[in-house]
Amino acid sequence: MAIVAPSFLASDFLRLEQACKMVDESKAGWFHLDIMDGVFVPNISYGLPVVEHIRKTTRKICDVHLMIVEPGRYAEAFKKAGADVLTVHIEACPNLHRNIQQIKELGMKAGVAVNPHTPVALLEDILQDVDVVNLMSVNPGFGGQKFIPYTLHKIKQLKQMITNRGLSTLIEIDGGVTMENAAGIVAAGTDVLVAGSTVFNAKDPKAIIESLYNL
């Protein structure tokens, strides 16, 4: 049974309050909030004020995914805005250990995101310090993309690394999660399912969240 983390990038921003209420009342465990800067990824999403307002609607985990350059500059601000988990990209952090320690010292869980082309072996020396690994199963920057099948191999490889070292690091899959592929993704070893379009484009989003939750 995986944690379901609806991605608000796919929500209707004219009805954001209703979307927050729906997710808060659903079986979802986390709110997944994507921050894009138009530099690290070719798109701009939303920023601190939106996170701050979403935080006020729920006591559930706010999982903030920074797809930005120089994430260390903003870690404290996102803590103040209400992030419980703060995820930075390995590709954006030349001093990743420093970023992870900063996040933990601020009182948040620390996540590391890995783009599709980045080998999970690069996490070997930092894995013991990380609470969540976000394996990107699409190229970051846009919602609604198709799941990259090779990600299943990466999930299994990462799960083995975690198991071999007796760690409790969570594996989060972000991108292209559908009702058709979610069971296989969970079976491969995933702990957290990020789902955007699958949830927010559904006629009955709560029912979709419950179906994902019950896998």
CB count in 10 Å sphere of residue 70: 14
CA distance 14 to 203: 17
31 labeled binding residue: no
137 labeled binding residue: no
196 labeled binding residue: yes
142 labeled binding residue: yes
- Beta strand 30-36 with 3-6: parallel, antiparallel or unpaired? unpaired
The phi, psi pair for 7, rounded to 5°, reads: -95, 115
CA distance 169 to 127: 8
166 labeled binding residue: no
97 labeled binding residue: no
143 labeled binding residue: yes
176 labeled binding residue: yes
Please identify which residue in the block is written with the tokens 């805005």. 81
Active site annotation includes 63: no
For the purposes of burial, counting CB atoms within 10 Å of the CB of 210, is it exposed (0-12), middle (13-18) or buried (19 or more)?
A: middle
The phi, psi pair for 55, rounded to 5°, reads: -55, -35
Name residues whose C-beta falls within 8 Å of residue 82's C-beta, 6 or more positions apart in sequence. 51, 52, 54, 55, 56, 62
Q: Which of 37, 63, 174, 191 is catalytic?
A: 174
47 labeled binding residue: no
For the purposes of burial, counting CB atoms within 10 Å of the CB of 122, is it exposed (0-12), middle (13-18) or buried (19 or more)?
A: middle
CA distance 182 to 69: 30
Q: Which of 12, 34, 37, 204 is catalytic?
A: 34
184 labeled binding residue: no
Active site annotation includes 174: yes
34 labeled binding residue: yes
**Catalytic residue ranges:** 34, 174
Annotated binding site for substrate: 7, 65, 141-144, 174-176, 196-197
Annotated binding site: 7, 32, 34, 65, 141-144, 174-176, 196-197
